[in-house]
Structure 1
Amino acid sequence: MMHGEINQPNHNYINPDSPPDKNLYLNKSQRRVLLLAAAVSSGSGLAVELLLGNLASYLTGNQALAYGISVGGFLAAMGLGSYLTQYIATTSQGQQLQRELLLAVTCVELAIAPLTAILPLGLFALFVSDGAMLWQALFIVTIILGTLAGMEVPIMVRILELSDNMRQAIAGVLALDYLGGLVGSLGFPLLFLPWLGMFPTAFVLGAFPALMVSMMGRLFPKIRRLGYIGLILGILLFTAAPITIPFSNNLENNLYNAPVIKRVQSRFQRIVLTRKGQDVRLFLDGDLQFSTIDEYRYHEALVHPAMSATPNHQNVLVLGAGDGMAVREILKWQDVKKVTLIELDPEMIKIATRYPQIASTNAHSLQDPRVQVINADAFTTAPELPDIYNVIIADFPDPDRDNLAKLYSEGFYRRLITRLADDGILVTQASSPFFTPKVISCINTTIAATGLKTHPYVIDVPSFGVWGYVLASRHQLDPSQLQLQVPTRYLTTSLLQHIFDLPKDIQLVQTQVNRLSQPVIVRYQMQTRT
């Protein structure tokens, strides 16, 4: 230090263990409501992240990118919001500082409330009108909500540290922040989404921060008027939540070419039934699963080549196919003694057994005494079953998401075939071999990697176009020897023997094996022929 220079004290330094200013002391109720607000803020914010990812994934089918933008963008924006709080109340001190910080956090909460409710519905409306702009809009929405969410915790810490010491303030806020995040991450998929639906959930999540402002207004006289606004806004959002259902349903109707007659939001997926005349169609997360006009073609081709390829049919395992159509075809074989169906979603079973048009189309197959229905994840449950099966039929949705790709992985097939009899047959649907040619090739390559002999084949389903399957066994099969022994509407013995002759414009190509650690099949599913 130069001679004569005076060492000036640093007025910006705060000792983390220094005692608080008694004039800024918060009573227990005030402190608790601020900590509760931190927990509610975190829980609502995390639930909104999941909601946005779920919505974009449902609309586009690209789960990885949807959650990448919604979660990654939200977290990055929270960092931006946290950074911006350093410019709030920079010159004030004492009670004026406390007043400005309380005003800031309540204004942030009051901004988050309506935006949380309205922006997801706006995204849906934008997709219906112009789907090409969805990704840009999703990014903007996550930045807006994430920036506001990122401002909450730093401001609350600053309020609390005026009363507590800094260590207590940070520890208290972060503890409740993390706890709220846990509640939000579990509450959204287990409670809000299946019980309320997507858009009512957005309005309810928006009401929470507004009601927290109301509680804060009762305990902090400095923001009492804003508390009344929070109460009114919270009530309005709760009241408006049911109104979003008919509004969003009308928007959703525009995504389909026929009137929607039933829609269910389960824990696992969005189930929609449409009807035009006698044509009832089932959609899962926006993807067509079948049309009652021609579903028999798809299901006969899924079931009967496998059943014809083995002399034994006593015990059959079906994975997916909760609509009951494949089971209907299986039960045509008189020597079938038991069919075990593993379906993830109980709501799908309810529709297949209780909705008249679907139940009559599947011939009430799921109520046959030979059929056992297990609601579980086939990935974990099927390989652990105690029985050995003559035929295993996998009818999963197309592998356009990571959580579906595991059902087409080498690891899953290796574990699954431990339940297959020595002369047993495995068959799986394999997407569109014309528009996504690498998918059927990848499934064929992946099953072959387990040591099974594979036999890909294709048929034509008017609703889908050309559709592919892969049949596999431990022993080489001769398709020319297959005989159709049950009544059908589409397949004949001659056709059965020739469906394994792939058309010239549908040929297998070299692909990687689909593994749990490297789900390449998702990329192949996205590479459509144009």
Structure 2
Amino acid sequence: MGAETEESIFINKVQRRTLLLAAAVSSGTGLAVELLLGNLASYLMGNQALAYGIAIGGFLAAMGIGSYLSRFIAPKEQGRALQREMLTAFIKIELLIAPLTALLPMALFALFVADSAVIWQALFVVTILLGILAGLEVPILARLLEIVDGVRDAISGVLALDYLGGLLGSLAFPLLLLPFLSMFPTAFVLGAFPALMVFAIGQCFPSMRRWGYAGLILGIVLLISAPASIPLGNKLENNLYNAPIIKRVQSTYQRIVLTRQGKDLRLFLDGDLQFSTVDEYRYHEALVHPAMSAVPKRKKVLVLGAGDGMAVREVLKWQGVERVVLIELDPTIVKLATRYPQLAKVNANSLKDPRVQVINADAFVQAPKLPDIFDVIIADFPDPDHDSLAKLYSDGFYRRLMGRLAENGVLVTQASSSFFTPKVISCITATIAHTGLMVHPYVADVPSFGPWGFVLASRNNIDTTKLKLEIPTRYLTTPLLQHIFELPKDIEFGNTEINRLTHPVIVRYQSQESRIRNIP
């Protein structure tokens, strides 16, 4: 009996390393798929903080449940029987995780198309299921290794590889998997990892060889199926838009979709409408020309965001513009704007103008570092619906921009829907005023968006009744330019807090209101 026990507890170096590798693969795969689920829910629903909160927080909590449940696996077995039961249990868990990892993200997407009202509940259920299964893995591996390593060394070894795998998975997802494979193929590739890990275990443990071949077959099937998930995912995504999709790209930062219905070309970033060619000129004229008409000279202009080139197109209409610096975070947007013929036509190839310098960087970091002093600064960022965007509407950022603004210069920013999110334009106005700048909020009518808010700011007061247009336009006239500063009565100012880096209240204001989520 003693001889049998001694034989059963022997695990050679290759087997030990394979089990430790399994810990890293399990952790990396688990964390990557939760990031994928958070990214998917954020894309579909728009609330990034809640999406990742459910995905990551729920996953960690469920791992605790799984860890507790692992005590009921082979509680009385010892020696050879314990090793066999632990290995078999781990393999079964991996073979279950593999297809769930591949299929559940697409199932969530399909559920959203069918009934978006239950997406948060579904995300929670999926997260809990995967978290419980992932929570079983580490205790099982630790119990296998403690037979030969002892409790201390087994736990430290498994946890070290588990944490390392988590780091690799969390970096690989945004930097490699999502940009190069897109969402659903990434899910299938992630699903193949635990299946192929079963094959590796089967090769190292002869008694598990048949399970290993099952893992190999499953892994190959998932990898082969990854390309097939693209057209299926595209078909599901088509249901989110009323117009045919003519271009879709997954960049490192966001999902980019172009739709076209007749002459109406529309750009969406993570499901949010950025412009429609039917009326984009209204938005961009309202964004650019009040600021350009309010300064005595406009030699140097800084444009933040607006990588589609539309705002730059309007800037270049003015005489005397010598230099335009555009800071856009996502280089994919700039590539589309310059290389995609239909977009380049709309923006009049503005980004190829020799006066324009494009910098692909985070405007929050890069703009204050620029050596130039600018006559006009134009901020055209997405709506502040999560913390990473809220910083671009903070008092700290506006103070930093003041260092790049000429003494008689003007700053303008888009300020979301004045009707659906009145607290947002109020918050932006109050925040900029808090920096000491004079503020002039105004509203323009853009049919695709509804009434849309903007805030003009300067060190010196601007007499908006004397602004004049000196360039050809399609929407604005000089009388209308002066009239847009007359605000409707239902926009109340002074009832909002200052948006700070340490307290991004603007995210709450954006989410509290009936937020426009244009997916036509």
Measure how far apart 1:507 and its partner are. Answer: 3.6
CA offsets 1:224-256 (integer angstroms, 9 cap, x no match): 111111000000000001111100100000101
Decide whether the 8 Å contact of 1:315 with 1:389 is kept in 2.
yes
Counterpart in the other structure of 2:371: 386
1:509, distance to aligned residue in structure 2 (A): 4.5
Residue 440 of structure 1 pairs with residue 457 of structure 2: no
Among residues 512, 517, 525, which one is paired with 2:497 in the alignment?
A: 512
- 1:488-499 to 2 correspondence within 5 Å? 488-499=473-484
Equivalence for 1:176? 161
1:117-266 to 2 correspondence within 5 Å? 117-266=102-251
SS of alignment partner, residue 354 of structure 2? coil
Kept after mapping to 1: 8 A contact 2:282/2:475: yes
Give the distance between the partners of 2:86 and 2:204, measured in 1 at CA.
15
- Partner letter of residue 85 of structure 1? S
- Find 1:53's aligned residue among 18, 21, 38: 38
TM-score (norm 1): 0.95
**Residue 112 (str. 1) matches residue 97 (str. 2):** yes
**Structure 1 residues 262-309: Cα deviation after superposition (integer angstroms, max 9, x where no partner):** 000000000000000010000000000000111000000000000000
How far the C-alpha of 1:505 sits from its partner, in A, is: 2.8
Greater shift in the superposed pair: 499-508 or 155-164: 499-508
1:299 paired residue among 280, 284, 302: 284
Deviation at 1:363, TM superposition (A): 0.4
Answer whether contact 1:395 1:429 (CA < 8 A) is retained.
yes
Q: Kindly indicate whether residue 18 of structure 2 is the aligned counterpart of residue 33 of structure 1.
A: yes
Is 64-73 or 162-171 further displaced after alignment?
162-171
Equivalent in the alignment of 1:419: 404
Percent of residue pairs bearing the same amino acid type: 72
Query: How many angstroms apart in 1 are the aligned matches of 2:423 and 2:132?
Result: 41
Question: 1:333 maps to which residue?
Answer: 318
2:80 equivalent in structure 1: 95
User: What SS class does the counterpart of residue 436 from structure 2 fall into?
Assistant: coil
Deviation at 1:223, TM superposition (A): 1.3
State the distance in 1 between where 2:401 and 2:285 align: 23
* Structure 2 spans left out of the alignment, 5+ residues: 516-520
Offset from partner CA, 1:79-101 (integer Å, 9 cap, x none): 00000000000111110111000
Q: Matched residues in 2 for 1:329 and 1:217: separation?
A: 64
Matched, 1:364 2:326: no
- 441-450 or 508-517, which deviates more: 508-517
Instruction: Give distance in 1, aligned partners of 2:424 and 2:103.
Output: 38
Structure 1 counterpart of 2:66: 81
Secondary structure class of the residue paired with 1:430: strand
**Separation (CA, whole Å) in 2 of partners of 1:67 and 1:208:** 23
1:526 offset after TM fit, Å? Answer: 1.2
Which residue of 1 is the match for residue 335 of structure 2? 350
Q: How far apart, in 1, do the equivalents of 2:335 and 2:287 lie?
A: 23
Q: Which amino acid aligns with 1:458?
A: V
> 1:344: Cα distance to partner?
0.4
**SS of the counterpart of 1:255?**
coil
Whole-angstrom CA distance in 2 between matches of 1:71 and 1:278: 42
1:468 correspondence with 2:444: no
Q: Does the C-alpha gap of structure 1 residues 200 and 84 become closer, same or farther in structure 2, counting only changes over 3 Å? A: same
3-state SS of 1:455 partner? strand
- Match of 1:407? 392
**What per-residue deviation string (whole Å, max 9, x for no partner) do you get for residues 54-92 of structure 1?**
111111110111011000000000000000000000111
- Cα distance, 1:165 vs structure 2: 1.8
- Distance in 2 of aligned mates of 1:529 and 1:236: 44
Query: What's the secondary structure of 1:111's corresponding residue?
Result: helix
How many positions carry a matched residue from both structures?
511
Which digits, 9 at most, give the CA deviation of each residue in 1:315-374, with x for residues without a partner? 000000000000000000110000000000010001100111110110000000000000
Task: Look up the SS of the partner of 1:427 in the other structure.
Answer: strand
Q: TM-score, normalised by structure 2?
A: 0.97
* 2:334 counterpart of 1:322: no
Unaligned runs of 5+ in 1: 1-19
- Residue 22 of structure 1 contacts residue 163 of structure 1 at CA under 8 Å; is this kept in 2? no
Amino acid at match of 2:267: L
Contact 2:430 2:494 in 1 (8 A): no
Kept in 2: contact 1:434–1:529 (CA 8 A): no
Check the 8 A contact 2:8/2:83 in 1, yes or no.
no
- 1:76 and 1:93 map into 2 onto residues whose CA distance is 30
Which is worse superposed, 220-229 or 150-159?
220-229
CA contact (8 A) 1:21 1:163 kept: no
| Separation (CA, whole Å) in 1 of partners of 2:23 and 2:461 | 64
**Deviating more after overlay: 20-29 vs 278-287:** 20-29
Q: In 1, Cα distance between the equivalents of 2:373 and 2:476?
A: 28
After superposition, give the CA deviation of every residue in 1:116-155 in whole Å (9 maximum; x if it has no partner).
Answer: 0101110000001100000000000000000000100100
Report the residue type matching 1:389 in the other structure: F
Whether the 8 Å contact between 1:387 and 1:419 is mirrored in structure 2 is yes
CA distance, structure 1, for counterparts of residue 234 and residue 293 of structure 2: 44
Q: Which structure has the larger Rg?
A: 1
1:453 counterpart residue number: 438
Amino acid at match of 2:316: L
Amino acid at match of 1:428: T
Give deviations 1:447-484, integer Å, cap 9, x for gaps: 00000000000010111111010000001111111111
Structure 2: distance between partners of 1:368 and 1:181: 45
Classify the secondary structure of the residue corresponding to 1:162: helix
